[in-house]
Amino acid sequence: MPSPDRKISESTVRRLSAYLRSLEALEASGAEMASSGELARRAGTTAPQVRKDLSTFGSFGKRGLGYPVVPLIGSLEAILGLTREWRVALLGAGRVGAALHTYPFFRERGFRIVAIFDNDPEKVGLRWDDTTIRHIDELESVLAGEAVEIAILTVPAAPAPALADRVVRAGVGAILNFAPARLELPPHVVVNEVNLAMELELLSFALTRSEPR
């Protein structure tokens, strides 16, 4: 796998993730090979796009035949960094945190939640599966002790920026932010924002423009 030095765009990575899911469906249905056209159909893109995306990372297909399903799954997992375990902390044990914690994807894909934090004394000490909820005061020591690499923020907007700073200072390299607040962090930190407001406003914008005609 060439693993190129040049920058890979976010949309390419999102598509790789979609190809992986398509390939897993194909594997489950017993297919051994998949053409770029088939992958495109399932992932919602075009055949040339699939080929270009994959060719960025190597030459995985056989001309005339397509891509071998099982080996390509392995290659994509390697590219996406899914062949190892990631140590994840959950900040905020509210409803969103609970929803994420029970999501089976985490286990299946090796994202292991090793720490949960909240500032509500009622919640501190409770166990979710085999993880005890810790008070946010213990953030730094627990993050270091558990060697946390990814933090998921499911706290209100107000405390989010300060918590993100603390988490980064404690050595966490990536943040998935569900709080509707912008985080200003050093460039080496990977941040990904999921903003429900934005997603709904996208819908209302599109509906508003399409309906009055």
Q: What 3-state DSSP class applies to 151?
A: strand
Helical H segments across 3-46, by residue range: 10-28, 36-43
Which residues 6+ apart lie within 8 Å of 190 measured at CB?
Answer: 173, 174, 175
CA pair distance 98, 92, nearest whole angstrom:
9
Summarize as ranges the residues that interact with its own copies (CB under 8 A): 3, 8, 10, 13-14, 16-18, 20-21, 42-44, 79-82, 86, 94-96, 98-100, 102-103, 105, 109, 111, 149-150, 173-174, 176, 180, 182, 184, 188, 190, 192, 194-211
With CB under 7 A as the rule, give the number of residues binding DNA. Answer: 26
With CB cut-offs between 5 and 8 Å by kind, which of DNA, its own copies, none does residue 95 bind? its own copies
Report residue 113 as tokens. 């939640």
x/- site string to DNA, residues 56 to 85, per CB under 7 A? ---xxxxxxxxx------------------
Among 17, 18, 42, 45, binds DNA (CB under 7 A): 45
The closest of 53, 122, 71, 69 to 94, measured between CA atoms, is: 122
With CB cut-offs between 5 and 8 Å by kind, which of its own copies, DNA, none does residue 90 bind? none
